[in-house]
Structure 1
Amino acid sequence: MDLIKQQFAPETTYLNTASMGLTPARTVSAVRRGAETMAAGLMTVPTLVGAEESARASFARLVGTETDRVALGSVVSPMVGAVAAGLPPGAEVLLAEREFTSLVQPFVVRDDLSLRFVPLDRIAEEVGPRTELVAVSAVQSVDGGVPDLPALRAAARTHGARTLLDITQAAGWFPIVADDWDYTVCGAYKWLLCPRGVSFLTVRPEAADRVVPVAAGWYAGAEDPWSNCYGPVTLASSARRFDVSTAWLPYLGAAASLRLVEEIGVDWIGAHDVALAARFRAGLRELGHEVPDAPSAIVSVPGLGRLEADLASAGIRASMRADGLRFAFHLYNTDEDVDRVLDVLSTATAAAR
């Protein structure tokens, strides 16, 4: 696709989007222009607010919700903390084993909650009458695992449990409807290709009563925070009351990145990413590695974490997670990338024997 070629020109075989997405050329330009405008003393409030609202609206469209259900932030864990703060003492929170820490730690520090960790493939059946909240990633960071989300939704409805879905490793390629969940959180610097410093929280109106705006500042006031930013203010009636004051340069970039994802389309990106991952799994099996089939753009190869440095020396970027070597395939990757990493792995594993 010409649009992708225009926006990306990596100097490596980059298979590490699960750690950090590549920055599109248009985003680099937007951030550079913003910094230059600030340096010249020419930046205006409407420009900054326009970028924030463009990012909010793009994200809402990408995840199937309304704009007024989206809150803006910088990182995921404070947004999870706002949900954790609203739970009653003793509430049971159900989490997956080996879940990413940003989704776990805000509940751990409460001290007065009952946390239960279960295998990912059992999380739906482990929801019970005592479960107050289920918190899980739509796609697991450690290995790309995907829980049975329809079954989890059904179990939560049956038992009256609320749901928090971390879509950091999913939004941008995996089909997500945020309104199917009480809350979603997303760090946007991976698959959504934004600069780091951009995150989103979605809140269904029926579940907003249990979210505490613990980081409320002037951005959380009314619908236009610029109209009154001194002393106590009335919080916005929409999810904007969970906004935090944003990092302006990252949001100038985010508006550009999210428009690009919209232009290409999540359906196309998802099909492309998953097809590359399937090609890679097939090649791994030919090399003698056991990897399960999965509807995921992330592939983790157990026991190969030691080869991360070898691949980096060959110009291939991947990540060691647990003892596995994790590869992530996104819109800028190609069949040639897959074949190249398979060739290098073949040589590296043969030399290690």
Structure 2
Amino acid sequence: MNFQDLFPVLNEYTYFNTAYSGILYQPLIEWRQQHDQEYLAGGSNFRLESGTIIENLRLRLAEIFQAKNVLLTPNFSFGFNTLLNGLEKNHRFLLLQEDYPSVAYPIKSSGFEFNEVKIDENLEENILIAIDAFKPTIFAFSMVQYISGYKFSENFIKKIKQTYPEILLIADGTQFCGTKAFNFDNSGLDALLSSGYKWLLSGFGNGFCLLSDQLVGKLYQDKSANGLPTAPFLQGKSHLAMSFEPGHIDTLNFGSLDYSLNFLQSVGFENIEKSNQLLCDKARTEFYNRGLLPEWMINRESQSTIISLPLKTEMVEKVEKANILCSARGAGTRFSFHFYNTVDDLQKLLDVVDGKY
């Protein structure tokens, strides 16, 4: 498939910046235009008839991620803050140093007790030691670290849950969802929250939250004794839905997520995972051979689609001049690879690094 015909930005740039923002594609734009044309022509009639968009999205999310409890949120941060607001304040959080600010900040600013673990080649061991010493009730983390690209092994997550079943595992999946197939109910996670604008290619203003039964039973317990609204248009909504999904849900933004999930299903999440893995494995080997990655990083069994390189300022400028889009994150320059990237794209970057471009 020639992805340049679908993703016009690929005609102008070598796009290694999905970790910053996913790109839009022509069929989605056409769907969005049709959506607004129908809204323009139908007004309130369109809104009355468009509820199937939202229900289709819930069903598709449940199917793709194998999850029973699905809630819609405009982005990860909104969903995560809503989740925290529904917890009792006596929880103790284990966090990772330099994790995404939207994970750490609301926990710290809300006054929860917390402890942080350093991210290095011994991270898994560090986490288990911290659990035994600090005895957290919740471990909150990003599935993929936005700076380094460090990705948690799914087997390690299951190991934590099997060893410490009472600990709630809450994950930010924004840099993870859309990169591979994933079964939430068998993952050991109690919550997976994600925005849709990165690897899911859905534009801004949409996201979702998947919850385990264990966590659902602990959220917003203080509201369970209060009556729900009796207005006809709110009938059937639970206390949980009233908290996570207040007000009207935008059919344009969430319809875009539904459309993109359908598109990614047509490409195949297994195919996406295989394509991403092959290209990222090759990239890591090439970068390691040039002294840009430590050995422990390339030897990890579980690898993400994000690679951070310690490039000097002059090299970053050369990359930018070559119309290669990437991001400065932490002390490095972050490159992120998705299924529309090719070996030719990687070779162009390597030529720039080698001074051949």
TM-score, normalisation: structure 1: 0.85
Are 1:126 and 2:114 counterparts?
no
- Tell which deviates more after alignment, 33-42 or 202-211: 33-42
RMSD in angstroms over aligned alpha carbons? 2.7
TM alignment of 1:201-240, pairs within 5 A: 201-212=209-220, 227-229=232-234, 235-236=237-238
Q: Are the equivalent residues in 2 in contact too, given 1:173–1:267 (CA < 8 A)?
A: no
The answer to whether the 8 Å contact 2:73/2:206 transfers is yes
1:199 is displaced (CA, Å) by 0.8
The aligned residue for residue 338 of structure 2 is 330
* AA matched with 1:198: N
Per the alignment, in what secondary structure is the counterpart of residue 39 of structure 1? helix
Partner of 2:116: 117
| Structure 1 residues 65-104: aligned runs within 5 Å | 65-66=67-68, 69-104=69-104
After TM superposition, the structure 1 = structure 2 runs for residues 154-169 of structure 1, keeping only pairs within 5 Å, are 154-159=159-164, 160-169=166-175
State whether residues 13 and 316 of structure 1, in contact with CA within 8 Å, keep that contact through their aligned partners in structure 2: yes
Amino acid at match of 1:193: L
Deviation of 1:240 after TM superposition, in Å, equals 7.3
Residue 305 (structure 1) shift: 6.5
Does 1:320 pair with 2:337?
Answer: no
User: How far did 1:98 drift?
Assistant: 1.1
Query: Contact 1:13/1:317 (CA < 8 Å) preserved in 2?
Result: yes
Alpha-carbon deviation of 1:344? 1.3
Deviation at 1:79, TM superposition (A): 1.3
The whole-number CA distance in structure 1 between the counterparts of 2:209 and 2:157 is 20
Pick one of 266, 269, 277 that aligns with 1:266: 269
Following the alignment from structure 1 to structure 2, what is the Cα–Cα distance between the partners of residues 16 and 326?
8
Partner of 1:218: none
CA deviations on 1:230-273 (whole Å, 9 max, x unpaired) are xxx77427767632433332122222111011111111101111
Aligned residue number for residue 186 of structure 1: 194
Give the secondary structure class of the aligned counterpart of 2:333. Answer: strand
Q: Does 1:146 align with 2:132?
A: no
Give the whole-Å Cα distance in 1 for the aligned partners of 2:48 and 2:213.
28
Aligned to 1:106: 106
Asked whether the 8 Å contact 1:95–1:134 carries over to 2, the reply is yes
Instruction: Tell me by how many angstroms 1:44 deviates.
Output: 1.1
How many angstroms does 1:317 deviate by?
Answer: 0.4
SS at match of 1:201: strand
Bigger shift: residues 233-242 or 27-36:
233-242
The CA deviation string for residues 142-196 of structure 1, in whole angstroms up to 9 with x for no partner, is 1210124423333244332111011111111134222231111011110111011
Q: Work out the CA distance in 2 between the residues paired with 1:89 and 1:315.
A: 48
SS in 1 for 2:141: strand
C-alpha distance 83-265 of structure 1, shift in aligned 2 (>3 A): same
**How has the CA–CA distance of structure 1 residues 40 and 205 changed in structure 2, closer, same or farther, with 3 Å as cutoff?**
same
In the alignment, which of 61, 64, 70 is matched to residue 63 of structure 2? 61
State the distance in 1 between where 2:256 and 2:243 align. Answer: 23
Partner of 1:170: 176
Q: Distance in 1 between matches of 2:179 and 2:141?
A: 18
**Equivalents in 1 of 2:50, 2:342: separation in Å?**
36
1:247 aligns with 2:250: yes
Q: Contact 2:220 / 2:240 at 8 angstroms: preserved in 1? A: no
Structure 1: 5+ residue runs without aligned partners?
A: 215-220
Compare 150-159 and 321-330 and name the one that shifted more.
150-159
- The one-letter code matched in structure 2 to 1:36 is Q
Provide the rounded CA distance (Å) in 1 between the counterparts of 2:162 and 2:311: 39
Gaps of at least 5 residues in structure 2 are 223-227
Q: Distance in 2 between matches of 1:12 and 1:213?
A: 50
Is the partner of 1:44 in helix, strand or coil?
helix
Structure 1 position 96, deviation (Å) = 1.2
Amino acid at match of 1:281: R
CA contact (8 A) 1:125 1:155 kept: no
Task: Kindly state the Cα deviation for residue 119 of structure 1 after the two structures are TM-superposed.
Answer: 2.2
**8 Å contact from structure 1 (residues 48, 248) kept in 2:** yes
Per the alignment, in what secondary structure is the counterpart of residue 210 of structure 1? coil
Give distance in 2, aligned partners of 1:25 and 1:35.
Answer: 16
Counterparts of 2:313 and 2:158 in 1: how far apart (Å)?
34
Q: Which amino acid aligns with 1:56?
A: R
